Amino acid sequence: MRTIGVFDSGVGGVSVLKEVLRKFPADNIIYFGDSLHAPYGEKEIDEIRSLCLKVSDFLVYEKKVDALVIACNTATGAAMDIMQKRYGIPVVGVVENGAAEGVKHTHNKSIGVIATPATIKMDLYKKSIAKIDSSIKTYSVKCPLFVGMIEKGWEDTLENDELIKSYLNEFSVEIDTLILGCTHYPLIRKYIARHFNGNIIDPAEETAKSLKKIIGEGKYLHKPYLKFYASGDPEKFKKVAQEFLGQEICEVEKIIL
């Protein structure tokens, strides 16, 4: 029976995990949230890469996963190429899948991306979109406050609503498609949608689909398990993860790598 590893800098990757669970109901799933070091998006690339490899080494060498999903845009840009060469198992990330979905939906060839500072610094979406269609213009806005607020548990307040509005107002042109370039952001999608009427792209579903194309359907050999590990406060992680995953989590084991 296969085991799929999913990891993120914290709780945000549950947006991807939810899609992985839908696409792979017969497979064991392990999720690692490196919440002790969140947010990755404000760190230097070398540090992000080092953190990613510690987590992925744990999943591949200790937990023996058969495939790896990088449920973090910043981590995808910083470390996916290295991981693909390092492990010899399927490794998929969210950026290329999000870019492809954005290209499918835009009509005016103007795509907006909201993401962490590190993701935007690496120009991940701009480069990926240009590979697919060089005529499309990509505009990016960094949202440094979102991840920390989501990790604590987002509150629907007037202040937070104004923060979303202020970030979206930074786009200097009319975009018809908005890519949520951080896996934390789909967790507040309904609040973002109050201020954006165009296409909102969550790369999670396409990422799960791309893995399914690589490894195919799983087979029920026995009841699959879902395990959670977090490097930060497990109870805090559990509370926020349950809210967004929409199901109870039995236990979150704390592991500091």
Ramachandran assignment for 159, one of left (phi > 0), alpha (psi -120 to 50 degrees), beta (any other): alpha
DSSP 8-class letter at 231:
S
Q: What is the mean pLDDT of residues 182-208?
A: 95
Reply yes or no on whether 250 is catalytic.
Answer: no
pTM for this predicted structure: 0.90
Same fold, 3-93+205-254 and 95-203: yes
pLDDT for residue 152 is more than 90: no
Alpha helices in the chain (DSSP H): 14-23, 45-57, 73-87, 95-105, 117-121, 124-132, 146-152, 158-168, 189-192, 204-215, 234-245
pLDDT for residue 102 is more than 90: yes
Reply yes or no on whether 182 is catalytic.
Answer: yes
Task: Considering the candidates 52, 143, 182, 250, report the single residue annotated as catalytic.
Answer: 182
Residue range 3-93+205-254, CATH number: 3.40.50.1860
Contacts of 119 (CB under 8 A, 6+ apart): 41, 73, 74, 77, 125, 181, 182
Task: Considering the candidates 52, 72, 143, 250, report the single residue annotated as catalytic.
Answer: 72
pLDDT of residue 192: 98
C-beta neighbour count of 13 within 10 angstroms: 27
Residue range 95-203, CATH number: 3.40.50.1860
Distance of CA 155 to the CA centre of its chain: 20
Q: Where are the domains positioned within the chain?
A: 3-93+205-254, 95-203
pLDDT of residue 243: 86
Token duo for residue 193:
């949608």
pLDDT digits (tens, 9 = 90+) for 204-251: 999 999 999 999 999 888 899 999 999 999 999 999 899 888 889 989
